[in-house]
Structure 1
Amino acid sequence: MTKLNRFYVFIVAMLITQAAFADDYKQYAQTVRDSIWAWDKAEFKNYNVPEKYKDESAVILALHEEVYATGSTRIRYTGRGLLGFGLNKELNYMHVFRKMIKLNDKKALADNAEIQFKESDKTMGYYSKTIYKNVIGVRVIKPNGTIKEVDISEAVSITEGKKDKESNKKLAVSDLEVGDILDFFYHEEGRIDYMNIPEQVFTFASKYPILSYSVHCELSKNMTNEYRLLNGAPDFTQSTNEDGDIVLDVKQTDIAKTPESKWLSPYRQFPTIRLCVLYNSNKKIYKPLTARGKGLHKNLPPEQILKDAMHAYNGSSYYLAVKTLNKRIKKHLKKNPSLDKKQLAEYINLTLTNEVQLYNTTRYKTYISTLGALFSKYKIDYKFGFVTDRFDTRNQDAIAYWDYFVVLVANQDSQVFGPPRYRYHIGPYASYEGETVQMVTPKTFNTINFSNLEKRQSEMVIPVSSADQNMNKTEMTVRLAEDNSLTLDINRRTLLSGHQANGRYSDLITAADWRDSVHTWLGEKTYMETLLVKAAKNKKEIESHEASLAKIRKEKETEAKDEIKSYHDLEVKELKEHSFSALGVTPDSPQMIYDVKYTLDGLVKRAGNNYILDAGKLIGSQLTLDESNQQRTLDIYMPYARSYEHEIKVEIPAGYTAENIQTLNQSVDNACGAFISSADIDGSTLRIKAKKIYKHNYEPAANWNKLVEMIDAANNFYGQSIILKKK
């Protein structure tokens, strides 16, 4: 046989091998299930709950994970070489997660009765392919020891998008009851081209006690394997297998539950191992110049990860639209020659935001480099800043360059800029506040000089905004509806400043209104104003634009109704109108003002000739803490310091008086928070004022009782009613 013929035979064999990965899924899944259910692990045969955990909602009897990662070079179709075949490096990856949990009450049953999963996933690239095949297995173990395997074909598809594309599957676990043990696993296998496997995170904490949690990893010795221990996590024991690959094992038993479920920063609080398996020997996978070589690397110095982040950013490209932006800036400066550097920096940033939002082209590093190019041109001093998110890892605990976000710190460190995380966001992100940003002065607009890095480096703490800066103020008028005295007519105005403007309310803004507001601030005509210059000629475009806006605003009604439900925790009876008096998206008008009129049932009851009004509920639904959250051992990470203020006017119907209003007077004010309320009568109007304040974005666990005191006061107010008594 000639060499060429042998090559053809080899190609055919390779095609058969690769086809096996795409073989019959049903057979593949059954093989996986048989293998995992056959595990000979003592912890998965122990169905007994220790006496000290008998009263827990649920107990995790056993939790085990396995990770396998190997790199290989295969002959694959690449579009190059003989017959289009060539050598292609790929990463083979497998992850198994198995958990066995005893369900002791209805709440645990409800929380674990459904499982979502994805059977397969793939991404296609130019001459490359990444394929994941996923399998789940579910068994129910009855108190008498009977084991029933759940039929996975009972799962239903969850679709999304206009074409109802399947995103996941959802399995309702049949015949699952209180007292049962749920034993399930998730098996993921991937063949990956030109990328690394997902970062592996092992967290030794849960809202339920864990009797046994173990992890087993087998990682190619030719990979770059890096891991970091966080918050006192147990360390791996290291060994090698018969192929010389790295084997890591860790096991911890009797892990107490972590009842806290709110205001957490898990990477800063829970014992966790983060593991990155990097195919750094593959030249087609990006890695910074400072990347490590093959082998095992534990708890790398944070300075090394910071340099990785700097190299990952260094020399980033900028938007070609910079020429267009430059023309706008020059024109604006000509009209406003007295602008100071801070005002100019704000203008440039919002001009760039408008450009990338208009064309949906936001790319993080490109945004920063473009902003740097423009700042450099207009002689605005700036530095690159590298910062971690306060709801992610700390600076000193970073494991990879992607833990850092790049910002621009300008004008003697007085301004912090970053790409728009939210569509209508202005200002530094709340999750960076209080974080130390590592800064470096660039050599050019997007280049870091590493030869004398120490001389160019500095750091600062990003300022923390106050509760008064992040205000949500409600002005509300309320009256009993004329046609139904059990229905309330409500006019509500919400004024939002700072970080409070992001999220639910900013989502109500249409893109067209946002662009119009920004263009007006930029000193430019809006799209409609441009059309109206030649109205006769643009008649069709004007009609089309108006029709499009009307359709979009109609669609926003659903979101407006959702906002009302979120506020009152009640379905709106009738939405009459909603609009913005101010969008709050430009520096000259930073406050967002939202108006909504609607009718609502559920807050008024008849009592003979009188009415009972749940007046406390007019301030909106409140955070409640169950019994398990009355005590706390973990520090408190809140999104930001904030305040909520309510001024409510209730029209007292003719022939009635308002009684029991003294119950609306509350006052709690301590070092962490405050809830202060009052009520009085002015003629035929009941006036209610309430203010709730979270004074800081962070509190030590020792201060939890002070926050609970404030939260309890707000809930006490929320539960109060007044009587509208017939004279």
Structure 2
Amino acid sequence: MKQKYLHLLLLIGTYCMTAQNKEEIKNFFWNSNDNYSKIINVPEKYKNESAVIIYKNENYDFHKFGKSVTYTTSTRKRIKLQDQAAITEFSEFSFRDKFYVKKGFSWKKGTLTLGIKIVKQDGKEIEIDVDKESVTEDDSKKIAISNLEVGDIIDFYFHSVEPFKSIEAFGFEPVEATLGENYPILNLKMTFETENDFFVNFNSYNGAPELKKIETKKSSDRKYELIASDVAKNDFPRWFLPLVELPCYKFQVFFARSGKFEQRADAFLPKDESEIKKIVSKEDILDFYTSKFYPNGNLNDVNDFLKDKKFASEEEKLKEIYYFARHQFYTRYIEAYVLGETNIVAYPYHLYNSYPIFFNSEEQFIRYFMEYLKKNEIDYDIIVATGRENGPIKDILIQQNARVLLKINTTNPLYFGNFTPYSLPNQFDTSLENTNAYALKVTKNKKVTDIEEIKLPGSTNQNNISKVMLQTSFDIASNTLNISKTTSLFGNNKSFEQSNKMNFYDYINEDYERYQTTPLLELVRNKKMKEKYKKEYDALLSKLKDKQSESLKNATEKEYDVKVDNFSFTILNTGRYSDTEPFEYKENFSIKDNFIKKAGPNYIIEIGKLIDSQVEISEKEHKRENNIYTVFPRTFNYKIEFTIPEGYTANGIEKLSKTIENETGSFISTVTITNNVLTLEATKKYNHDYEPVSNWQKMIAFLDAAYQLTQEKILLKKQ
């Protein structure tokens, strides 16, 4: 049975009451003035919909009481159920009626109230006794709604109160939501209430209604409404960015009691708390980041590293400084962090000669590198960008959606963005590729004085490549396929997988050797303590490696949707020091009694399934109304070498050759047999990260060809 989850983190909507009790809450939603309580039918045009939301009411409320702040959220939905799928969807609720809130500087107990009633087709109302009918499981409650029938209405609300204390500035989690859902909405109302000391950024996009101010009796109270009707549903298909195309709204509320806290706020605040800020201008960006980013750091370590070194170009020099800084201020301390977190060493950082400088944010790294650029009079800009899932930079509203990069204006510009153990120069979040951004111009390497709009570079499918080589043999006696698989990843394909396939012990020694750094435990002088620490550390590594191996094996089993045996995994190249070197690893495993079917003296081999799983476009997905946003252009190369068992021939190989090419991408596969080895080669390309919906059928053409290859078989015929 599919559950309808009402977990706290998914709550939307608000209403605040001074006397918070269940009867008052129920009366707020279900009262004699409720205009929607008698509506039990929906327009004829929606008769084929699985369900229709007759009324959706969201409420957000932010209030303070001395040092206490209360954030109250509530939502009511009245839904017509029109088929069995809808009944299943709403036949069970899971919720937490009590929880702890960690906001500000205190833990406080929060509460959630749930109300449910069923309206039968004859108008009879059945209210569910939630307290009596719900059962407790772990830290949540569940309630099953029985006897639902097609044509019934389920009318429910949930009301959550989150109290906390705050004497400083506090930013609430931003809300970014489309008006529409998976079902059409006949009537939608959203209310929004705040008071003094709450600063609000709010705007509507893509044709969503504006937030309208409602007059209140107290000048310190502020209330707003957003009302919409006949909101279309959306299926939210794969490769789609809802906030870019659908009617939506975004907001964030920031609590600040005084001017000094307003200055510290990590938000693009309105100038006055009585105003709703709808637009963040270039000037706002300039004002905010001018004070946030400044050159800062001691360059002695970098200068020592550069001593007596020569480089082919300024760009190569800066790249090497990047790699050195990544180690000196990040990976060098990973072992210390692990030993401290696992309590093997109480405070491992004391083993270093000086207090460690550890960069745990991109901002710290950028400020440090700005210091080097300033000292060496190298021209640079600070880039402020936002992921394309948030819409264009001109519509940025929420500061957390902004990303900051460093652009170094060498002959071939360098971008420094992500700062991780695997990050490279010119590598930044893929969602920023080909987007417009703001460049904060730094005059004489000292001060930000101007801002202009630029376009960030993008990658191509020649940059982002996955190469997969499988050598496969068939052991007839055990009915087993033995596979040796080597994967080489470049560009964004590389950065996507490094953190999934590597742990710190897979690369930390590589860094120690490159920079002649002493491993942490070698710094321990007491021989007895060193032996103790090493023994415990080795035991920890053994556990971590076992867990990693199991995780990697599970990933391979998920990829092929079968059980694998004799699994091993080896990293051949971490790919951490060059964008031209791959992240390369090898997997060995066997698959028994799968992809093989005996047919008399012959065998049918599902050879297509040895290629990584491919996108399957369902019949429903063929009809699409939204544009297509994939992650980035990319290429996948597959090569399978299958050794044909002695005494057999391979028949039916002609089905393995396919060619589909068009402007959106391609899939081409070929097959040959040489010296009893069948070689299947296939290449799939996504040409762009965006396609208009008019090109959807062209994409389906090469995607279907790739999927169809995974369904192809060959016959091993006994000679």
Q: TM-score range by the shorter chain?
A: 0.7 to 0.9
1:337 aligns with 2:336: no
TM-score by length of structure 2 reads 0.83
Q: How does 1:89-108 map to 2 (within 5 A)?
A: 90-105=68-83, 107-108=85-86
Deviations along 1:216-236, one digit per CA (max 9) or x if unpaired, are 223326643332121111123
Inter-CA distance 659–527: structure 2 relative to 1 (3 Å threshold): farther
1:510 aligns with 2:503: yes
Give the residue type in structure 2 aligned to 1:467.
N
Inter-CA distance 290–560: structure 2 relative to 1 (3 Å threshold): closer
1:628 aligns with 2:620: yes
Would you say the 8 A contact 1:68–1:93 is kept in 2?
A: yes
Would you say the 8 A contact 1:439–1:459 is kept in 2?
A: yes
**Could you say what secondary structure the match of 1:553 adopts?**
helix
Inter-CA distance 553–129: structure 2 relative to 1 (3 Å threshold): closer
Would you say the 8 A contact 1:475–1:494 is kept in 2?
A: yes
Superposition deviation, residue 475 in structure 1: 0.5
Superposition deviation, residue 645 in structure 1: 1.1
Deviations along 1:66-119, one digit per CA (max 9) or x if unpaired, are 1223344x2xxxxxxxxxxxxx3x443322122233444555556555655443
- Alignment partners' CA distance in 1, 2:563 and 2:523: 38
TM-score by length of structure 1 reads 0.82
Pick from 114, 118, 136: which aligns with 1:136? Answer: 114
Partner residue of 1:251? 227
Give the residue type in structure 1 aligned to 2:49.
E
Partner residue of 1:66? 59
Inter-CA distance 149–264: structure 2 relative to 1 (3 Å threshold): same
1:574 aligns with 2:550: no
Give the residue type in structure 2 aligned to 1:92.
T
Deviations along 1:574-612, one digit per CA (max 9) or x if unpaired, are 142111111112227731112111222432222232222
**Could you say what secondary structure the match of 2:229 adopts?**
strand
Give the residue type in structure 1 aligned to 2:577.
T
Partner residue of 1:590? 581
- Alignment partners' CA distance in 2, 1:269 and 1:597: 45
Inter-CA distance 583–38: structure 2 relative to 1 (3 Å threshold): farther
Inter-CA distance 68–548: structure 2 relative to 1 (3 Å threshold): closer
- Alignment partners' CA distance in 2, 1:444 and 1:95: 50
Give the residue type in structure 2 aligned to 1:249.
E
Would you say the 8 A contact 1:408–1:418 is kept in 2?
A: yes
Give the residue type in structure 1 aligned to 2:702.
M
Deviations along 1:660-694, one digit per CA (max 9) or x if unpaired, are 11111111111111111122222322211111111
Partner residue of 1:212? 187
Superposition deviation, residue 34 in structure 1: 5.6
- Alignment partners' CA distance in 2, 1:98 and 1:54: 23
Partner residue of 2:278? 299
Superposition deviation, residue 250 in structure 1: 2.4
Would you say the 8 A contact 1:517–1:586 is kept in 2?
A: no
Pick from 388, 391, 410: which aligns with 1:390? Answer: 388
Q: How does 1:10-49 map to 2 (within 5 A)?
A: 28=21, 32-33=25-26, 35-38=28-31, 40-43=33-36, 45-49=38-42
- Alignment partners' CA distance in 2, 1:340 and 1:201: 45
Partner residue of 1:351? 324
Partner residue of 2:354? none
Give the residue type in structure 1 aligned to 2:457.
P
Partner residue of 1:85? none
1:190 aligns with 2:168: no
Pick from 125, 129, 142: which aligns with 1:171? Answer: 142
Inter-CA distance 314–546: structure 2 relative to 1 (3 Å threshold): closer
Pick from 647, 651, 656: which aligns with 2:639? Answer: 647
Please tell me the root mean square deviation across aligned C-alpha atoms, in Å.
3.5
Inter-CA distance 621–647: structure 2 relative to 1 (3 Å threshold): same
Would you say the 8 A contact 1:386–1:404 is kept in 2?
A: yes
Give the residue type in structure 2 aligned to 1:95.
T
Would you say the 8 A contact 2:311–2:317 is kept in 1?
A: no
- Alignment partners' CA distance in 1, 2:39 and 2:633: 47
Inter-CA distance 432–660: structure 2 relative to 1 (3 Å threshold): same
Would you say the 8 A contact 1:214–1:251 is kept in 2?
A: yes
Inter-CA distance 345–117: structure 2 relative to 1 (3 Å threshold): farther
Partner residue of 1:472? 466
Identity between Structure 1 and Structure 2 (%): 22
Deviations along 1:132-185, one digit per CA (max 9) or x if unpaired, are 433334445555655352646746556xxxxxxx6xx36364437673544433
Inter-CA distance 608–469: structure 2 relative to 1 (3 Å threshold): same
- Alignment partners' CA distance in 1, 2:430 and 2:18: 45
Partner residue of 2:478? 484
**Could you say what secondary structure the match of 2:307 adopts?**
helix
Superposition deviation, residue 262 in structure 1: 1.4
- Alignment partners' CA distance in 1, 2:317 and 2:226: 55
Partner residue of 2:439? 439
- Alignment partners' CA distance in 1, 2:633 and 2:87: 36
- Alignment partners' CA distance in 1, 2:373 and 2:32: 61
Would you say the 8 A contact 1:234–1:250 is kept in 2?
A: yes
- Alignment partners' CA distance in 1, 2:117 and 2:314: 65
- Alignment partners' CA distance in 2, 1:618 and 1:109: 40
**Could you say what secondary structure the match of 1:552 adopts?**
helix
- Alignment partners' CA distance in 2, 1:254 and 1:557: 52
Give the residue type in structure 2 aligned to 1:476.
L
Q: 713-722 or 350-359: which moved more? A: 350-359
- Alignment partners' CA distance in 1, 2:603 and 2:461: 37
Give the residue type in structure 1 aligned to 2:615.
L
- Alignment partners' CA distance in 1, 2:442 and 2:38: 60
Q: 133-142 or 490-499: which moved more? A: 133-142
Deviations along 1:376-406, one digit per CA (max 9) or x if unpaired, are 3344432211111112232111113333211
Q: How does 1:195-594 map to 2 (within 5 A)?
A: 195-220=170-195, 223-244=198-219, 245-283=221-259, 284=261, 286-287=264-265, 291-297=270-276, 299-307=278-286, 309-311=288-290, 313-315=292-294, 322-323=297-298, 326-338=299-311, 340-354=313-327, 355-357=329-331, 358-359=333-334, 362-412=360-410, 414-420=413-419, 424-426=422-424, 427-442=427-442, 448-449=447-448, 453-454=449-450, 457-485=451-479, 487-522=480-515, 524=517, 543-568=535-560, 570-587=561-578, 590-594=581-585
Any stretches of 5+ residues in structure 2 without a counterpart? 1-15, 338-358
Q: 432-441 or 54-63: which moved more? A: 54-63
Inter-CA distance 586–175: structure 2 relative to 1 (3 Å threshold): farther
Give the residue type in structure 1 aligned to 2:379.
D
- Alignment partners' CA distance in 1, 2:311 and 2:654: 55
Would you say the 8 A contact 1:291–1:308 is kept in 2?
A: no
Deviations along 1:316-345, one digit per CA (max 9) or x if unpaired, are 9x5xxx54xx44423331252235322232
- Alignment partners' CA distance in 2, 1:481 and 1:668: 34
